[in-house]
Chain A
Amino acid sequence: MTLHADLRVTRGAFRLGAELVVQPGEVVALLGPNGAGKSTALRALAGLLPLTGGHIRLGERMWDAPPDVFRPAERRPIGVVFQDYLLFAHLSALENVAFGLRARGVGRAAARAEAARWLDRVGLAAHAKARPRTLSGGQAQRVALARALATGPELLLLDEPLAALDAATRLHVRAELGRHLRDYPGHTLLVTHDPLDAMVLADRLVVLEHGEVVQEGPPTEVARRPRTDYVADLVGLNLYRGTGHGTAVSLDGGGTLTVAAPATGPVHVVFPPNAVSLHPEHPAGSPRNAWRVTVAGIEQHAHTTRVRLDGVPPVLADVTTATVADLRLRPGDELWAAVKATEAHAYPS
């Protein structure tokens, strides 16, 4: 069953017109600046906001097709993780997770047993009786995820699921969320403005600007060929999967990078294009990553020039116009790329 959505919402001066297709097991990230229509799209899919045009259809079942069909939120097989989780403060963690099952007619004992299994799966079995306000941000996020998944929804909607967390917690929760999403057989739509979340968690990015889809595709593809300045700024990230052995990470696609903090096991290594410097010769001096690359393309954006470079690994570099002139960059040129170890961050995946 595929989710087909032609989301058309007109409210005052704002218009959303976006088509989305999500396959079972696929994680699609809806990425865009504030006011682009991400939340509107999510609310429409959840049934909290009726469409003014278009349709939402899961397989053969129509969820919304104005003016005739509208299935409200409580009658859609969905699970939603809200940005600030919206855990019910007067209920324990277990009762929060059991709420959806009870609302859908599951008996009290069965609902509690199932909820306990979910809490165990997210590693919070010991906190079953805790009230939400006694939980840490990361724990609350996991309760919210368990609550959304406990009813076995066909569509999982995540609204900025990591935005409320501090940087350190975020790393672990992101990795854990990634594992749960890989296990989840349904359709997932992740709304975020954080490119790293999108690129790490999603199989496909859909970038929304001013209520319209400006670009979509696999994360690396979108990063390599951004179609607008916004996309270039936003998803211009060098992101690699690899295995950590202390400060050295051997990349799945070949090559090795030295990172700032030691890491072991599967990791993502991330650094922005402006952390990459280009040199005609092997750069001498400080301990940093340096490897041979070939210029594959040069794109001029609003404030920078982005250079696509083939090599092991391939890399994106943002350089100033002066550097382009100094090095007389042209496709096919051979250069050295360098990244300081302090700029390269490894995240557990």
Chain B
Amino acid sequence: MTTTRRRTGGRLPVALVVPAVVGLAFLLVPLVGLLVRAPWGTLPTRLLSPSVGEALRLSLVCASLATVVCLVLGVPLAWLLARGDVPGRGVLRALVTVPLVLPPVVGGVALLFVLGRRGLVGQYLDAWFGVSLPFTTAGVVLAEAFVAMPFLVISVEGALRAADPRYEEAAATLGASRWLAFRRVTLPSILPGVVAGTVLCWARALGEFGATITFAGNFPGETTTMPLAVYLALETDPDAAIVLSVVLLLVSVGVLAALRDRWISGPS
């Protein structure tokens, strides 16, 4: 009796296991290839070179700032999409995901059209305030935020739509304004979704290449983030590119694993 039951409970369906294992291998084997080909002998000296440190520092700073921008703008946007009585919400929701499907290079060109020196908005920023965003670290942050924000908006909006709006009603009957209800009731209840979105958003910003190089250009110490450094290194020194990639890989896996344990695995 017991044996039979145990076996039935433990058997995993082949139709799921086989594709799952293939999928896992598909995702992991390229990483293994990267690690196998890494020039481990010269790794320490390469890692300690100032250009690597500079690119890594810039990447981490820009990705984090971009994530802050995404949080400040993206969480309210997600709320508007999930709870606001705005007309054409479905269309808005679709538009928000445009940066997901847009090739990042095109996103970068679009940013230039708007915020560039001769852009729709940029020309006034330049003329009135003397502010020019392309080729600056601020430009990197903007490009990364543009590409990464949909990840945050989508996961926060999903969390908001899964959250029971009656808690906000309960807060209202206790005298809370919608802002207070959002801050004290809704936000804490969707915190896991916000954290998951933040992590995705940060990871996407960290790996951002196309929009960054198109909008912010590439200048060491100013706008050369790790992915840009990797791309240019590939032209002449593939070993250096692998080293940079391994660094990026280890840093992101480290951060994501730490956050995942703390937040994403959920209450268990």
Contact = CB atoms under 8 A, between A and B. Distances in A.
Contacts of B166: 82, 86
A74 B177 contact: yes
A187 interface: no
B170 A103 contact: no
Given A47-B172, A76-B173, 9 more contacts: A78-B173, A86-B164, A86-B169, A88-B184, A99-B171, A99-B184, A100-B175, A100-B176, A151-B175
A88 B185 contact: yes
Interface residues of A, number: 24
Contacts of B103: none
Contacts of B185: 88
Contact of B173 (A80, A88, A89, A90): A80
Nearest to B187: A90
A138 to B, nearest CB: 19
Contacts, number: 62
B180 interface: yes
Interface string B49-87: 000000000000000000000000000000000000000
Interface in A220-243: none
Contact of A48 (B164, B169, B174, B189): B169
Given A90-B188, A90-B189, A151 B174 contact: yes
A42 B17 CA distance: 51
Q: State the 9 A-B residue pairs at the shortest beta-carbon distance, nearest first.
A: A100-B174, A73-B172, A103-B176, A86-B170, A103-B175, A90-B188, A80-B173, A104-B175, A74-B172
Contacts of B189: 88-90
Interface in B110-124: none
Contacts of A80: 170, 173
Interface string B156-178: 00000000101101111111110
B interface, over-half SS: helix
Interface centre among B166, B167, B170, B185, by most chain A C-beta atoms within 10 angstroms, is B170
B173 A46 contact: yes
Interface centre among B172, B184, B185, by most chain A C-beta atoms within 10 angstroms, is B172
A103 B180 contact: yes
A242 B71 CA distance: 63
B172 A99 contact: no
Contact of B170 (A75, A82, A151): A82
Nearest to A106: B175
Interface residues of B, number: 18
B184 A73 contact: no
B267 to A, nearest CB: 9
5 contacts: A75-B175, A88-B189, A90-B189, A99-B171, A147-B174
Interface string A55-78: 000000000000000001111101
A79 interface: yes
A93 to B, nearest CB: 15
Contacts of B188: 88, 90
Given A99-B184, A103-B180, A86 B174 contact: no
Nearest to B185: A88
Contacts of A147: 174
A324 to B, nearest CB: 49
Interface centre among B164, B169, B189, by most chain A C-beta atoms within 10 angstroms, is B169
Given A86-B166, A90-B189, A72 B171 contact: no
Contacts of A89: 189
Given A74-B176, A74-B177, A89-B189, A103 B171 contact: yes
A46 B170 CA distance: 10
B167 A88 contact: yes
Interface in B131-174: 164, 166-167, 169-174
A73 B173 CA distance: 5
B28 to A, nearest CB: 37
Interface centre among B170, B173, B180, by most chain A C-beta atoms within 10 angstroms, is B173
A76 B176 CA distance: 11
Contacts of A79: 173-174
A157 B173 CA distance: 10
Contacts of B191: 90
A86 B177 CA distance: 17
Interface centre among B167, B172, B175, B176, by most chain A C-beta atoms within 10 angstroms, is B175
Contacts of A103: 171, 174-177, 180
